[in-house]
């Protein structure tokens, strides 16, 4: 019997009980839709995390000053005063995997402009910082190395600060007061959004030359951190090790003694985040798969009912020459048609609900063609798997008994 005829018979049989076929399909629709939407949510989250991490700058290695252990009292990171500007110079000079480095000092201060004021983070650095972190300016220009050397009172401000102090007015060229010192705004940074793991507003910050910060605002002589960029993403691991070795040597830390600094590789953080979102995706997908299996059981149930209802039809078909294989194929294809139609509708449903999730919750949802293909294949497999037993049952009927069936 040719496939086209079988498909026509299957279509007939299914459209005879539209409500029943529809409800049966609903199980598969929900299953496939849930798989697509959940995988979409998982992959979307994973992509968002990756984007945020790469937004921190490519190939970036963070070096932070370490903890101190003073008579058993342990303080947090950024407490030691051993990380200095010369360390940074040494890192650039002596670590082959390092491309560039920028120093970082930090304080907090009340900013004043006209009648507005704002409390924020003040960071001191050098102009290459913006390149390393891949952070461009929306307005104006960054301060220069010459400005750093002369400890000029210049500031590059984040978007949040700009909004709070200037509103819609021009910011570049204005003078703001930081701890009662006047600073001229030379640039406004592009918005970066919240940081990936802390949820901090990365745009709530101003940058001043490191020399200005140290000499005029904090009086510190040490660095809170050094931001380093490696020559490539792969090289960031090498850079991490080179820096650690160099700093241990420079800080005269004996083997067995703890580091007084901290080196963090962004690639590590990215990988960790990637791993956790992958686990998340897998979890969501497997929960969604359960509903697909439930949908398959629904198909099996309805196919069994259908075989019983159509016992006489099976008998007639056998009497006029249908073989066991003919009957089995017919019911199997009916189940597959049911599950594939459910799968197709489920893809639409999954894509639709993904878009809805994006629209309503603002989550990034990534609809991958792979997930769609897998869902379609899976729904066909559900049809074969759950259709096989009812089809087998139909094929095994005794034609004489089947013809007598009322």
Partner 1 sequence: MATTLQSASEADGARAFAELIRVEDVHKYYELGETRVHALRGVTVSIAPGEFVAIMGASGSGKSTFMNLLGCLDRASSGRYLLQGTDVSQLDKKALASIRNRKLGFVFQGFNLLSRTTALENVELPTLYAQLNKEERLQRAREALRIVGLADRMDHFPSQLSGGQQQRVAIARALVNRPSILLADEPTGNLDSRTSVEIMDVFQELNQSGLTIVLVTHEPDISRFAKRTLLFRDGKIRRDEPVTGRPRAFEVLRALPKMED
Cβ atoms of 364 and 44 within 8 Å: the answer is: yes
**Residue 216 to residues 97, 129, 221, 335: CA-CA distances in angstroms?**
34, 20, 11, 78
Region from 23-31, 75-83, 278-286, 310-318 binding partner 1, contact rule CB under 8 A: 310-318
User: Closest separation between CB of residue 279 and partner 1, Å?
Assistant: 51
Taking the least distance from each CB to partner 1, the nearer of 268 and 326 is: 326
Taking the least distance from each CB to partner 1, the nearer of 2 and 258 is: 2
Q: Find the binding residues for partner 1 in span 265-294 (CB under 8 A).
A: none
User: Closest separation between CB of residue 321 and partner 1, Å?
Assistant: 2
User: Applying CB under 8 A, does 308 fall inside the site for partner 1?
Assistant: no
Residue 221, SS3 per DSSP: coil
User: Closest separation between CB of residue 8 and partner 1, Å?
Assistant: 10
Residue 151, SS3 per DSSP: coil
Taking the least distance from each CB to partner 1, the nearer of 374 and 403 is: 403
Using CA atoms, how far apart are residues 26 and 15, in angstroms rounded to an integer? 15
Structure-token pair, residue 78 = 């950024």
User: Closest separation between CB of residue 365 and partner 1, Å?
Assistant: 44
Structure-token pair, residue 358 = 């994006």
- Which residues have CB under 8 Å from 254's CB, separation 6+? none
The partner residues of 226 in beta bridges, in order of sequence, read: 63, 103
Binding residue for partner 1 (CB under 8 A) from 143, 313, 329, 339? 313
Taking the least distance from each CB to partner 1, the nearer of 147 and 334 is: 334
- The residue ranges of DSSP E strands in 126-234, in sequence order, are 137-140, 154-157, 175-178, 181-189, 205-209, 225-230
- The residue ranges of DSSP E strands in 24-180, in sequence order, are 60-65, 69-70, 73-74, 98-113, 116-125, 137-140, 154-157, 175-178
User: Closest separation between CB of residue 4 and partner 1, Å?
Assistant: 9
Binding residue for partner 1 (CB under 8 A) from 89, 197, 278, 312? 312
**Residue 290 to residues 35, 264, 379, 398: CA-CA distances in angstroms?**
9, 40, 12, 36
User: Closest separation between CB of residue 393 and partner 1, Å?
Assistant: 16
Backbone angles phi, psi at 323, to 5 degrees: -85, 170
Taking the least distance from each CB to partner 1, the nearer of 170 and 324 is: 324
User: Closest separation between CB of residue 2 and partner 1, Å?
Assistant: 8
Structure-token pair, residue 347 = 């893809």
User: For partner 1, what does the binding mask look like between residues 16 and 55, x meaning CB under 8 A?
Assistant: x---------------------------------------
User: For partner 1, what does the binding mask look like between residues 314 and 343, x meaning CB under 8 A?
Assistant: -xxxxxxxxxxxx-----------------
User: Applying CB under 8 A, does 364 fall inside the site for partner 1?
Assistant: no
User: Applying CB under 8 A, does 403 fall inside the site for partner 1?
Assistant: yes
Chain residues binding partner 1 by CB under 8 A are 1, 5, 12, 16, 312-313, 315-326, 399-400, 403
């Amino acid at each position: 019997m040719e496939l086209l005829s079988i498909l026509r018979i299957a279509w007939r049989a299914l459209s005879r009980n539209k409500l029943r076929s529809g409800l049966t399909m609903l199980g598969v629709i929900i299953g496939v839709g849930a798989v697509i939407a959940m995988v979409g949510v998982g992959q979307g989250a994973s992509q968002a995390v990756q984007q945020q991490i790469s937004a921190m700058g490519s190939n970036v290695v963070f070096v932070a000053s370490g903890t101190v252990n003073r008579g058993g009292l342990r303080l947090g990171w950024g407490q030691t005063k051993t990380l200095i500007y010369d360390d940074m110079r040494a890192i650039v000079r002596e670590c082959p995997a390092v491309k560039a480095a920028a120093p970082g000092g930090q304080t907090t201060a009340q900013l004043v402009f006209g009648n507005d004021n704002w409390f924020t983070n003040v960071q001191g650095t050098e102009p290459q910082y913006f390149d390393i972190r891949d952070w461009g300016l929306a307005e104006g220009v960054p301060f220069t190395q010459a400005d750093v050397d002369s400890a000029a009172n210049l500031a590059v401000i984040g978007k949040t600060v700009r909004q709070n102090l200037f509103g819609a007015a021009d910011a570049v060229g204005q003078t703001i007061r930081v701890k009662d010192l006047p600073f001229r705004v030379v640039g406004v940074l592009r918005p970066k959004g919240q940081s990936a793991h802390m949820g901090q507003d990365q745009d709530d910050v101003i940058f001043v030359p490191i020399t200005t910060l140290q000499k005029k605002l904090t009086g510190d002589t040490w660095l809170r951190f050094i931001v380093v960029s490696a020559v490539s993403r792969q090289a960031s691991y090498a850079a991490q090790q080179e820096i650690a070795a160099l700093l241990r040597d420079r800080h005269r830390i004996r083997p067995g003694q703890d580091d007084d600094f901290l080196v963090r590789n962004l690639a590590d953080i990215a990988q960790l985040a990637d791993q956790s979102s992958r686990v998340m995706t897998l979890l969501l997908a497997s929960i969604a798969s359960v509903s697909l299996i439930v949908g398959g059981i629904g198909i099996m149930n309805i196919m069994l009912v259908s075989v019983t209802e159509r016992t006489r039809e099976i008998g007639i078909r056998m009497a006029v020459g249908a073989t066991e294989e003919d009957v089995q194929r017919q019911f199997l294809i009916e189940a597959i048609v049911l599950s594939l139609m459910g799968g197709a509708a489920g893809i639409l449903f999954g894509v639709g609900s993904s878009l809805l999730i994006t629209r309503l919750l603002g989550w990034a949802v990534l609809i991958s063609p792979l997930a769609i293909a897998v869902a379609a294949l899976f729904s066909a497999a559900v049809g074969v798997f759950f259709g096989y037993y009812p089809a087998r049952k139909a094929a095994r009927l005794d034609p004489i008994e089947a013809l007598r069936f009322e």
